[in-house]
Chain A
Amino acid sequence: AQSVTQLGSHVSVSEGALVLLRCNYSSSVPPYLFWYVQYPNQGLQLLLKYTSAATLVKGINGFEAEFKKSETSFHLTKPSAHMSDAAEYFCAVSLTGTASKLTFGTGTRLQVML
């Protein structure tokens, strides 16, 4: 079984500030980990994924995440927030990569202030 915990349902940052969205996972086997983003009135879009290769994963729009097995974490970061980053972000885990259901966290809504 697997589960995901996202700390903070809402995060506010100033434009240009560091973005840090937290995700901790629980998995009985080495996991595949993902961050998805949902902009208003759109579907979920894959930001980045960890599939047991490099522990530091770079994604789209300047986001990156680091897989830390000892901490069972996969936090999402971006050095400098932009207004266009305002959206809801979801961390997810799956047991395999080929065809497996995703288990999501509750989501974190990111607000970016001027």
Chain B
Amino acid sequence: EAGVTQFPSHSVIEKGQTVTLRCDPISGHDNLYWYRRVMGKEIKFLLHFVKESKQDESGMPNNRFLAERTGGTYSTLKVQPAELEDSGVYFCASSQGITGTSGGYNEQFFGPGTRLTVL
């Protein structure tokens, strides 16, 4: 079974440009999460989808970030316009829905991340 995949693996853009990151979760996983790690700091939660609905977007830094999950499958995270402080590694994770619980915990499976560099 394929794991969580993310595209691109690396992206280098200039300040003011737009970048779109893509995440393909494990097939059948209702929950999809975006996290970000700025260099040297902790991995921080950005938002959580349940199917196509935003369940929690409390971690989104500002309105330059737009996440979508049309059809409840893959998700995109767009940054427009990008700023220097947006540089970091963006991780996506997915987990099963409530009906898939096992021992009361649904493991989040992480993708390899997209390294974004804004110059």
| B104: chain A residues within 8 A (beta carbon) | 51, 97-98
B residues 82-119 in Cβ contact with A at 8 Å: 91, 93, 95, 97-98, 101, 103-113
Q: What band does the interface of chain A fall in when counting residues whose beta carbon is under 8 Å from B?
A: 20 to 34
Known A41-B112, A45-B110; judge A98-B105 contact (CB<8 A): yes
List the B residue with the shortest CB-CB distance to A92.
Answer: B43
A90 interfacial contact with B, CB 8 Å: yes
B56 touches A49 (CB 8 A): no
Residue of B41, B45, B56 with highest tally of chain A CB at under 10 A: B45
Known A41-B112, A44-B110, A49-B105; judge A101-B45 contact (CB<8 A): yes
Q: Which residues of A contact B (CB under 8 A)?
A: 4, 32, 36, 41-46, 49, 51, 53, 90, 92, 97-99, 101-107
- Would you give 18 A-B contacts (Cβ < 8 Å), ordered by A? A4-B42, A41-B112, A43-B3, A44-B91, A51-B104, A97-B101, A97-B104, A98-B98, A98-B101, A98-B104, A98-B105, A99-B55, A99-B106, A101-B33, A101-B56, A102-B33, A103-B45, A104-B42
